[in-house]
Amino acid sequence: MAAQRIWIKNPLAVFTPEGIDGQGGLVIENQQIVEVLAAGQSPSAPCDETKDAAQHVVLPGLINTHHHFYQTLTRAWAPVVNQPLFPWLKRLYPVWARLRPEALALASQVAMAELLLSGCTTASDHHYLFPDGMEEAIDIQVEVVKQLGMRALLTRGSMSLGEEQGGLPPQQTVQSGEAILEDSLRLIRRYHQRGAGAQIQIALAPCSPFSVTEEIMTESARLAAQEDVRLHTHLAETLNEEQFCLDRFGLRTVDYLEKVGWLGPRTWLAHGIHFNADEIHRLGAAGTGICHCPVSNMRLASGICPTLDLEAAGAPVGLGVDGSASNDASNLMYETRQALYLQRLRYGAERITPQKVLGWATRGSAQLLGRSDIGELRPGMQADLAMFRLDELRFSGSHDPIAALILCGAERADYVMIAGKWRVVAGAIPDMDLDSLIARHRAAASALIG
C-alpha cells in the first residue's frame, strides 16, 4: 500500500522537462506528482515515506506504443529467423492460429513483466488474432493488466481479408466485419476508461492494409469517432506493403489512409518507414502519430523511420518494441538505445541525443496514446516513474548519468512506481514467481510450435 506522501529524495539525476530543476527530488501525494524540488529544497509539508534516491537516475515511466504480447511464444523460432516481413508472416500465421486462452494469458504476463522490469509503466498491445475459442482475447489481457498494476491501451485488432480474398492471413484467423465491429463496441463500452489516471483504455486497430477490407478500415474510423477512441494500424513498414496497396487499391499507403478516413490526430501508425516528402508533410499537417520500432525494423530489414522529418512536419513520434517475434525482447530501455544508434545512421550524432530518444520513449509516446497525464515528471502528472542504479560493471567510469543509461546499456529498473504505488522493488516484481511463470510459458511455447 502506497504511503499518502512520498519524498523521492535527492536523486543522482532526474529527467525533467527543460527548465525544471529536479535535483531535490519528487513529492508524490496519492497518485500524482505534487512537487518537483530544486537542489537543496525540502517538501512543503511532512511526508509519510522518504525514499533515498542518491544512487538512482529517475525517469518518467517509459511508454511502449506498439507490441504483440502473444508473440513472446514464438521468439527466435528457427524457420523465420532470417525472413523478411511477408514470408515471415506467412510462415507464422498458421502457428499463431493455434493460440489458446491459457497461452495468451501466459504470453501477456511475460511481455508485461519484461516491460515493467525495463522501466515501462504504460503499454499498448495490438492483438488481432481471434480464431475460434479466442473471442475474449482482450478480456484476458485486461485481467493481466490488473494483476501487474500497469496502464495499458489495448487495441482491438482485426483481420478480415483472408487468403481466399487475396490477403495474407489464413482463413481460420479472419472474422466477418459484423463480428469485428460488434466486439469492438462491446470492449469500448465495458473497459474504456477516460480522463487523467485511466488504467485501461481501448482503441480500434485493423491489422494492416493487406489483412483487412476497405470496409473495415472505414467502419473502424467511423466507430472510433462515434465512441471517441483512438485508431492504430501498421503502415508503410515495407516496400512490399506499398506495392500491395498499389496493386489492390490503386493507391499509395497515405492516400489509402486518407480515403478510409484515418488521416487525423486520432490515429497513430506502427513503423512509418516508406513515406515520400509529400506524405510526411500530409501526416504532419494531420497530426497523425508514428511509432518507431527500431529493433523490429532492423531485424526484418524493413528500413529506417524518418523520425526527425516527421517531427518537423508536425507528426508526434514515440517508440514501440513491436512483437517479440520480430524483436525477440520486450525491453523498452533496450529499444531506446537502439533508436539512438539506428537514427544516428540517418541523421548524425549531433541531432540524435540520449535526451531526444528518451523524449520519444516518454512524452512522445504519451502523445501517440492521447495522454497528457503521463510521460513527464512535473507537478500535476501521474506518479509513474522508473529508477535505475548505475553501480553495475557496465557503468563503471561513466560521467553523465542520463547519457550513461543509454550509452552503457541500462536494461533493468531497480524501482518502478505506477500511480503512486511501487510495482518493482529492488529489481523484482513483488508477489510474482518468475521461475514458475517462465516454466509455464516455455511449456506453452513448445506446445504452440507443435
Whether 412 maps to a domain, the answer reads yes
Query: Worst-scoring range by mean pLDDT, 27-36, 225-234, 242-251, 347-356?
Result: 242-251
Q: What is the pLDDT of residue 169?
A: 83
- DSSP secondary-structure letter at 372? S
In contact, 336 and 357? CB cutoff 8 Å: yes
Cell, residue 287: 497530426
pLDDT-derived band of residue 209, with 50, 70 and 90 as boundaries?
Answer: confident
| DSSP secondary structure of 327-367 | SS---HHHHHHHHHHHHHHHH-TTTS-HHHHHHIIIIIHHH
86 with 42: CB under 8 angstroms?
Answer: no
Query: Does residue 267 share a domain with residue 207?
Result: yes
Is 122 a domain residue? Answer: yes
Q: What per-residue confidence (pLDDT) applies to 450?
A: 82
What is the number of other CB atoms lying within 10 angstroms of the CB of residue 233? 27
Supply 429's cell numbers: 516484481
> With left for phi above 0 and alpha for psi between -120 and 50, is residue 323 left, alpha or beta?
beta
Does the reported pTM lie above 0.95? yes
Q: Residue 89 pLDDT > 80, yes or no?
A: yes
- What CATH number is given to the structural domain containing 227? 3.20.20.140
pLDDT digits (tens, 9 = 90+) for 258-281: 999 999 999 999 999 999 999 999
Task: Report the pLDDT value the prediction gives residue 1, as an integer from 0 to 100.
Answer: 46
Strands 56-60 and 385-389: antiparallel
User: What cell was used for 99?
Assistant: 493460440
In terms of domains, do 187 and 226 share one? yes
Q: Which residues span the domain enclosing 148?
A: 64-368
Structure confidence by residue, pLDDT tens digits, 334-371: 999 999 999 999 999 999 999 999 999 999 999 999 99
One domain for residues 238 and 384:
no
Say yes or no to pLDDT of 92 above 80: yes
pLDDT for 385 beyond 60: yes
pLDDT tens digits along 96-115: 999 999 999 999 999 999 99
Kindly tell me if the per-residue pLDDT of 180 is higher than 80: yes
Rounded to the nearest angstrom, the gap between the alpha carbon of residue 262 and the centroid of all alpha carbons in its chain is 20
Q: Which residue has the cell 542520463?
A: 402
The answer to the question of residue 437 being in a domain is no
Number of structural domains in the chain = 2
| pLDDT at residue 141 is higher than 60 | yes
Residue 441 lies in a domain: no
Residue 161 cell numbers, joined: 481479408
Separation of first and last alpha carbons in the chain: 43
- H helix or E strand, kind and range, residue 445: helix 434-449
Instruction: Say which amino acid occupies 16.
Output: T
414 and 359 within one domain: no
pLDDT tens profile 396-427: 999 999 999 999 999 999 999 999 999 999 99
Tell me whether residue 443 is in a domain.
no
Question: 75 and 110 share a domain?
Answer: yes
One domain, residues 12 and 136: no
**Measured in whole angstroms, how far is the alpha carbon of residue 282 from the centre of its chain?**
24
CATH at residue 31: 2.30.40.10
Look at the block and give the residue holding cell 511477408: 86
Residues 349, 400: one domain? Answer: no
Contact (CB, 8 A) for 155 and 205: yes
Of 3-12, 51-60, 145-154, 220-229, the least confident: 3-12
Confidence check: pLDDT of 173 > 90? no
- Bridge partners for 421 per DSSP: 418
Query: What does the pLDDT read at residue 3?
Result: 59
Clarify whether residues 169 and 317 are in a common domain. yes
Please tell me whether residues 331 and 183 are part of one structural domain: yes
Residues 215 and 342 reside in one and the same domain: yes
Beta-bridged to residue 126, according to DSSP, are 155
> Is pLDDT of 2 > 70?
no
- Percent with pLDDT over 70 in the chain: 99
Q: Cα–Cα distance between 52 and 190 in angstroms, integer?
A: 41
Average pLDDT taken over every residue of the chain: 96
User: 153 and 29 share a domain?
Assistant: no
Helix ranges restricted to H, 57-135: 85-96, 101-117
